[in-house]
Structure 1
Amino acid sequence: MMKFLFMIIFMIPLCFLQKMFWMVQMMMFFLMYLFLMLNVNLNIFSNLSYVMGCDIFSYGLILLSIWICSLMIMSSENLFKMNFYSNFFLLNIIFLLIMLYMTFSVVNLFLFYFFFEGSLIPTLLLIMGWGYQPERIQAGMYLLFYTLFASLPLFMGIFFIFDNMNFFMMYMMKFYNFNLYLLYISMILSFLVKMPMYFIHLWLPKAHVEAPVSGSMILAGIMLKLGGYGLMRILIIFQEINMKLSFIWIVVSLIGGFYVSLMCFCQIDIKSLIAYSSVAHMSIVIGGIMTMNYWGFLGSYILMIGHGLCSSGMFCLANINYERFHSRSLFINKGLINLMPSMSFWWFLLLSSNMSAPPSLNLIGEISLINSLLSWSSLTMIMLMLISFFSAGYSLYLYSYTQHGKFYLGLYSFYMGVSREYLMLMLHWLPLNIIILKIDYSMIWF
């Protein structure tokens, strides 16, 4: 595991050289394929070195992190063309990748907290440095304070646990059980804010709307997954108390998911709509993790990977429109099927994956999450039906509103997509729909 970290670190000097923008991206793809070849054991930590290790769960999320980071560079060609601090941008992405790689691979709980919170800084710099509107400062503050407000109790909780157990190893925690209400709340609150759960989700749409395309991609692709990863790692020591309290989180998430799905229909900003749809998808993931059963665990993992690719791809599409229209309003982005028919095809493919149509990963993830929640309580059927139905509803709404209708007459000139954009969308869509051929790796662990 250490060798991959060193490879990322030694990519830093490339950022300061002239015209090395695409070289950094190529190195990231190379790193991705090297990591792909890693031999991973399904149900125990393998590849242990120093404080780092890797089980199948970390493995999938690290792969996703490297993949999304390389696609972030690909989507930000404008920065390179205008030479808008592109070297610092690359440096920022590499620091972000180091933080994410370490978050998912460390087996030490304190270091996990350190890198978990550290990943906030490069994201904040992305939003405040390369965002589009003046409100990005406010969005950055929202992101910072929502996350930091919940992270101090987690910090104290980790040291309380250390005081009792005298070690930080995550793998050994399964032998312990803490039945303390305050500790339980303080430990999981930070992850619920990061997910984000309904009621504490307000920072997410704001950050998405103000962030540049790369910021949106990393927020939707990886940042929301940090919360799910943390919950799955930490709930091992709170199994007994979670049996008593899990209904609170499941009820809030499912009702919130339904309400957010309705809010998607009210959005007039494309990015805002995609951001709210992320909250709706993550609400089912929270429900699945909190049921603490096998189906829920696997479904959450698969949906997190699927949503990371799908949501990131949709933000790319929104940005492709924004670079041409200089607007993200649904009233101006209309009738695009007349102007860019090939791009409409990609809108269709990614939005169909977003509504969990086969053969996407989202479908398998949602099926197993629905299984898990129904086995927990048959009453969840009502909310799950509504969320699934409206999920298809707002995806169709976004597609029909942007692709059909009369296009904006104030348009001066226009051009179809370039090969880089189509490649970028292909690299989002292919893994999302091809991994299903080897879904047995993700579904059958034991």
Structure 2
Amino acid sequence: MLSFFFFFFFLIPLFFDFWLVPSLLFISCFLMFLINYDFDFFSLGYFLGLDLVSLGLIILSFWIGSLMIMSSSSVKYFNNYSNSFILMVLFLMIFLFMSFSVMNLLMFYFFFESSLIPTLILIFGWGYQPERLNAGYYLLFYTLLASLPLLVSIIFYYDYNFSCMYMINYFFFDYLFVYLGLIVAFLVKLPMFMFHFWLPKAHVEAPISGSMILAGGLLKLGGYGLYRVIYLVSSCFLNFNYFWISIGLYGGVFVSFICVIQSDVKSLIAYSSVSHMSLVMMGIMTMSYWGCSGSYFLMLGHGLCSSGLFCLSNIIYERLGSRSFFVNKGMMSFMPSMSLLWFLFCSCNMASPPSMNLLGEIMIINSIISWSSFSIFFIIFISFMSACYSFYLFSYTQHGNFYSGFYSFSSGYVREYLLLFLHWLPLNLFLLKINMFILF
């Protein structure tokens, strides 16, 4: 694992070459696939190690990281501090790699918080509107305020001479405040309903690269953290999980209704992320094998699908200068070649086969209904409204009378089709190799 760390560390001197860095990040993704994964932890060395969950999320982060550079070609063409942009992306990749592979609790907290800094710089430096400052402050203070109890809980564990985040599974504590301190930071990062107000603001004001890595990498830190601490205070999880699952069920329905009344394309995709992440949180909270496996699949699928939808919204924004549904109508006439990709990603967003979202949602729904049969009423609404806002997104952007200011049509660049294809291909083809992800 240290060899991969040095690989990314020595990419930093290459920040002046805009297209070399994503190429090497792609190569690192394929090198990760060559690792011989085991049922338990592998590639152990110094304070780093992997299991199957870490490996999948690291590959997802690097894949999205290389695609976010590819999607931000306007930074290069307009010479908008492209060297600094590549540097921020590389630091973000290093912090995410260390967060997903580190074995020490305090080091995990350090890298978990460090990933916030490059994200903030991306939003402040390359965001679109003046409101990006407000969105960045929301992101900063929500995350920092919620993560302070996490630091206190980790220090509490250090008093018991437990520092490794995996060996600690054999010891059981039932301190309620430690339990709350351990999970609140991850619930805000997911984000859970009622702690989600920073996410739509950050997504709408962030550049396309910021939106992609928020959806594809940083939200997954919350699910990964919950997965790691679920055994630390397992008795509290068993006693109080009904509270979080209840909020997740209510929040998933409520946010799905909020999606249908949005007038901004990016805002709708951001709120749909909140709805999907509530399913991830509920799957982990059931503490069942199917629930945890389904949450893992849904995290991988959602990272690719949501990132692809943000790319599509940015492609329209670069041509029309607006993300409003009232302007973005009739895209089937303006960009006919892109309509198929809109349809494919909207259908994946509603968990249609053969996407990874489908398998993840089936496993999560099974685990939640086995936890409580009463939850089926909420699950029906969440699934139905997921289809509703995905249809709403597709039909309102592709059909209708297009804006009178259009005077031509646009077929799109080859780079954009390659970018979207590299989102869609792993999202659907990994279902054929699902045994690779279900071993843990």
2:35 to 34, 38, 42: 38
Q: Which amino acid aligns with 2:95?
A: M
Q: Give the TM-score normalised by the residue count of structure 2.
A: 0.99
Contact 2:249 2:278 in 1 (8 A): yes
1:94-109 to 2 correspondences below 5 Å: 94-109=90-105
CA shift, 1:444, in A, is 4.1
Contact 2:135 2:201 in 1 (8 A): yes
- Secondary structure of 2:44's counterpart equals strand
Q: Which amino acid aligns with 2:8?
A: I
> 1:144 & 1:331 partners in 2: Cα distance?
32
Provide the residue aligned with 1:345 in structure 2.
Answer: 340
Provide the residue aligned with 2:185 in structure 1.
Answer: 190
Which ranges of structure 2 fall in alignment gaps of 5 or more residues? none
Contact 1:332 1:408 in 2 (8 A): yes
Which ranges of structure 1 fall in alignment gaps of 5 or more residues? none
> 2:425 & 2:294 partners in 1: Cα distance?
20
Q: Which amino acid aligns with 1:14?
A: L
> 1:183 & 1:281 partners in 2: Cα distance?
27
Q: Which amino acid aligns with 1:34?
A: L
Question: Does residue 72 of the first structure (1) align with residue 76 of the second (2)?
Answer: no
Question: Does residue 267 of the first structure (1) align with residue 257 of the second (2)?
Answer: no
1:188-337 to 2 correspondences below 5 Å: 188-337=183-332
CA shift, 1:239, in A, is 1.1
**1:186-216 deviations in Å (ceiling 9; x for gaps):** 1100000000000010000000000000000
Contact 2:333 2:409 in 1 (8 A): no
Question: Does residue 399 of the first structure (1) align with residue 388 of the second (2)?
Answer: no
1:373 to 327, 351, 368: 368
Provide the residue aligned with 1:132 in structure 2.
Answer: 128
> 2:173 & 2:110 partners in 1: Cα distance?
22
Provide the residue aligned with 1:6 in structure 2.
Answer: 6
> 1:238 & 1:377 partners in 2: Cα distance?
22
> 2:209 & 2:303 partners in 1: Cα distance?
13
> 2:276 & 2:26 partners in 1: Cα distance?
28
- Secondary structure of 2:339's counterpart equals helix
1:26 to 18, 23, 28: 23
> 1:322 & 1:75 partners in 2: Cα distance?
13
Provide the residue aligned with 1:81 in structure 2.
Answer: 77
Provide the residue aligned with 2:419 in structure 1.
Answer: 424
Provide the residue aligned with 1:51 in structure 2.
Answer: 47
Provide the residue aligned with 2:145 in structure 1.
Answer: 149
CA shift, 1:167, in A, is 2.8
> 1:444 & 1:177 partners in 2: Cα distance?
26
> 2:22 & 2:282 partners in 1: Cα distance?
36
CA shift, 1:273, in A, is 0.1
> 1:415 & 1:386 partners in 2: Cα distance?
38
**1:294-333 deviations in Å (ceiling 9; x for gaps):** 0110000000000000000000000000000000000000
Q: Higher mean Cα deviation, 234-243 or 268-277?
A: 234-243
**1:37-69 deviations in Å (ceiling 9; x for gaps):** 111112x11001111000001000000010000
> 1:183 & 1:6 partners in 2: Cα distance?
35
> 1:58 & 1:31 partners in 2: Cα distance?
15
Q: Give the TM-score normalised by the residue count of structure 1.
A: 0.98
- Secondary structure of 1:443's counterpart equals coil
**1:131-167 deviations in Å (ceiling 9; x for gaps):** 0000000000000000001011100100101112x13
> 2:402 & 2:71 partners in 1: Cα distance?
25
> 2:292 & 2:401 partners in 1: Cα distance?
45
Give me the identity figure in percent.
57
> 2:437 & 2:358 partners in 1: Cα distance?
14
Provide the residue aligned with 1:92 in structure 2.
Answer: 88
- Secondary structure of 1:439's counterpart equals helix
Contact 1:221 1:307 in 2 (8 A): yes
> 2:294 & 2:337 partners in 1: Cα distance?
33
CA shift, 1:412, in A, is 4.4
**1:50-99 deviations in Å (ceiling 9; x for gaps):** 11000001000000010000000000000000010000000000000000
Contact 2:162 2:168 in 1 (8 A): no
> 2:120 & 2:321 partners in 1: Cα distance?
23
Provide the residue aligned with 1:361 in structure 2.
Answer: 356
1:389 to 361, 384, 404: 384
Contact 1:324 1:414 in 2 (8 A): no
> 1:167 & 1:294 partners in 2: Cα distance?
26
- What is the RMSD of the two structures over their aligned residues, measured on CA atoms? 0.8
> 2:361 & 2:61 partners in 1: Cα distance?
22
> 2:41 & 2:165 partners in 1: Cα distance?
10
Q: Which amino acid aligns with 1:61?
A: L
Contact 1:193 1:201 in 2 (8 A): yes
Divergent runs of 4+, >3 A: none
Provide the residue aligned with 2:59 in structure 1.
Answer: 63
Contact 2:150 2:182 in 1 (8 A): yes
> 1:4 & 1:125 partners in 2: Cα distance?
25
Contact 1:103 1:115 in 2 (8 A): yes
